[in-house]
A = this chain, B = another copy of it.
Amino acid sequence: MTITVVGSVAYDTIETPAGKRERCLGGAATYFSLSASFFTDVRVIAVVGEDFGKRQEAVFQARNIDTRGIEHTAGKSFFWEGSYLDNLNEAKTHNTELNVFASFNPKIPDAYRDSEFLFLANIDPVLQRRVREAMPQAKLVAGDTMNYWIKDHRPALLEVLKGLDILLINDTETKMLAGNNNLVQAARAVMALGPKALVVKHGEYGATLFHGSSPRGENAGRAFRAPAMPLEEVVDPTGAGDSFAGGFFGYLASQPEQSPAAFRHAMFYGSVMGSFACERFGTERMQKLTRPEIDERFNLFRELTHLA
């Protein structure tokens, strides 16, 4: 099954303890689609400026990603500058230039309209909702968001949540969205807002899938926890969450059925892809990745967590 993803394609200037890179190709839709492309066909909806050229286009083409939904317009592409000098788990933003993204109005190519899987990457919830409504055929819709939209655009975000099957967010965002400091209670409160499943990302500690309430009334509800890789060196965490989402949703879309077992495997593939993303700056690792490497790491994750 194909996935259509809407989100940012951008340039990032990133500084980490491992070094600095100026204007690497980035953006949530970029990381998501590169990651998901190892599992299924991916179509991108985004907007870029005149600074997005053949070299950037080639990164998508090398992974057979459909870029007909990337609109080219006058001006400069979205630009973000940040650093992780004190804390590899949290970016410090130095500069955000929306540029062509400021007036982004997603245009959906007719050829995309049969996508049964839709991913709404972290953008203005007004746009997320517009795309969701324009693609009523999507049978599984997942999305991401961030603290900014939770704090200052709550009504629009709540509308998006109503139409989501799966929401992927981190611990802090889950608690902020629910106004509750207990993760299990917060997860349940967020799921009451719409999403049938919630993937809470814990950074270096992995991620937890919450889906439904427990038939046994257990504290855990129905939960599944995937580990993260204990990494010797995190070169650049930018895009790790989007790469997680790409592995998670890409694997789900590749399966004949979205069974509980498929969700568990999807959590592992998400963690696997997130771990690769951190190993090099920007999309460097994703561009050189191979499917055998993914499978090998999947097996390592299994060894890391399974009793036998």
Given contacts A202-B205, A218-B300, A219-B232, is CB(A305)–CB(B185) below 8 Å?
no
Given A206-B225, A223-B304, 10 extra CB contacts under 8 A: A88-B181, A183-B204, A184-B231, A185-B233, A202-B205, A205-B206, A223-B230, A225-B304, A265-B307, A305-B306
Q: Is A225's CB under 8 angstroms from B185's CB?
A: no
Q: Which of A187, A264, A302 has the most CB of B within 10 A?
A: A264
Q: Is B302's CB under 8 angstroms from A182's CB?
A: no
Given contacts A202-B205, A261-B308, A307-B302, is CB(A227)–CB(B230) below 8 Å?
no
Closest Cβ of chain B to A263, distance in Å, is: 10
Contact with B along A207-219 (1 / 0, CB 8 A): 0101000000011
Chain B residues lying within 8 Å of A208, measured Cβ to Cβ, are: 230
10 residue pairs A–B, Cβ–Cβ below 8 Å: A182-B232, A182-B234, A205-B205, A205-B206, A218-B300, A220-B229, A220-B304, A223-B304, A224-B304, A225-B230
CB of A11 within 8 Å of the partner chain:
no
Q: Is A220's CB under 8 angstroms from B300's CB?
A: yes
Closest Cβ of chain B to A198, distance in Å, is: 11
Task: Look across to chain B and name the residue whose beta carbon is closest to the beta carbon of A183.
Answer: B230
Interface residues on A, range: 35 or more
**Bound CA–CA A234/B227 (angstroms):** 22
**Bound CA–CA A86/B221 (angstroms):** 25
Chain B residues lying within 8 Å of A225, measured Cβ to Cβ, are: 206, 227, 230, 304-305
**Bound CA–CA A221/B303 (angstroms):** 12
Q: Is B202's CB under 8 angstroms from A232's CB?
A: no
Chain B residues lying within 8 Å of A264, measured Cβ to Cβ, are: 307-308
Closest Cβ of chain B to A84, distance in Å, is: 11
CB of A268 within 8 Å of the partner chain:
yes
Q: Which of A210, A220, A306 has the most CB of B within 10 A?
A: A220
Contact residues, A257-274 vs B (CB, 8 A): 261, 264-265, 268
**Bound CA–CA A220/B233 (angstroms):** 10
Closest Cβ of chain B to A282, distance in Å, is: 20
Task: Look across to chain B and name the residue whose beta carbon is closest to the beta carbon of A307.
Answer: B264
Q: Is A184's CB under 8 angstroms from B261's CB?
A: no
Chain B residues lying within 8 Å of A182, measured Cβ to Cβ, are: 231-234
Chain B residues lying within 8 Å of A231, measured Cβ to Cβ, are: 182, 184, 219
Q: Which of A219, A221, A230, A261 has the most CB of B within 10 A?
A: A230
Q: Is B185's CB under 8 angstroms from A232's CB?
A: yes
Q: Which of A184, A221, A232 has the most CB of B within 10 A?
A: A232
Chain B residues lying within 8 Å of A300, measured Cβ to Cβ, are: 218, 220
**Bound CA–CA A166/B184 (angstroms):** 32
Contact with B along A177-196 (1 / 0, CB 8 A): 00001111101000000000
Q: Is B224's CB under 8 angstroms from A230's CB?
A: no
4 shortest interchain CB distances as A-B pairs: A205-B205, A219-B232, A225-B227, A184-B232
> Which of B181, B220, B230, B302 contacts A184, CB < 8 Å?
B230
